Amino acid sequence: MLKAIYPGSFDPVTYGHLDIIRRSSKLADELIVGVLYNKAKTPLFSIEERVRMLKEVTKDIPNVEIIPFEGLLVDFAKETSAKMVIRGLRAVTDFEYELQMSQTNHKLLPELETVFLTTGLEYSYLSSTVVKEVAAFGGDISQFVPEAVERKIQEKIKRRV
Ligand code: PNS
């Protein structure tokens, strides 16, 4: 049985992430979406909120599980017995960081392989940061994130004003 992890911050999940989740859920028997809890960063959404939104938007995909993690990805892979890490590549600008990360992870845990999926062209410009920025200035984000996520972003922004 092949278990894979798709790790990320998902602050919040976008259609670009969802595209990678759907496609990689077909490559692995079980796909774990690993949501990073990073004490050093202040995300817009708490770890609980990010996990909840991911659960909501992936509820129709049977072999996907959403699990928060803290610390090293390789330790999370060991804990969950995952043998594959999935990352999306949007453009050449992603490549350097992704290469460094995958090579570091490979040094730390040689049996863990990273597989890159190229993001669908329609999502190649998309990032959680851009979505938050557009929303903060009152722009329409309905084409970037699922409706449930859009509502959560709007609530968050209203509370901050
Ligand atoms: O969505 P992101 O922020 O691009 O995801 C980055 C993530 C979570 C995949 C990466 O930061 C990560 O794996 N962090 C865990 C810490 C770790 O293992 N670092 C060593 C690899 S460089």
Instruction: Report yes or no: 83 and 2 within 8 Å, Cβ to Cβ.
Output: yes
Give the pair of three-digit tokens for residue 1. 């049985």
Question: CA distances (Å), 62 to each of 70, 96, 135, in order?
Answer: 25, 33, 31
Could you list the pLDDT tens digit for every one of the 161 residues in the chain? 999 999 999 999 999 999 999 999 999 999 999 999 998 989 999 999 999 999 999 999 999 999 999 999 999 999 999 999 999 999 888 999 999 999 999 999 999 999 999 998 999 999 999 999 999 999 999 999 999 999 999 999 887 75
Number of H helices, E strands in the chain: 6, 5
CB of 73 closer than 6 A to ligand 1?
yes
* Other Cβ atoms closer than 10 A to 92: 7
Q: Which of 109, 161, 102 is nearest to 135 (CA)?
A: 161
- For residue 68, report the distance from its CA to the centre of ligand 1, in Å: 12
Residues designated as active site: 17, 41, 90, 128
Closest C-alpha to ligand 1, atom 7: 8
pLDDT at 51 (0 to 100): 98
Give yes or no for residue 58 CB within 6 A of ligand 1: no
- pTM, whole model, 2 decimals? 0.96
Predicted local confidence at residue 159, as pLDDT: 74
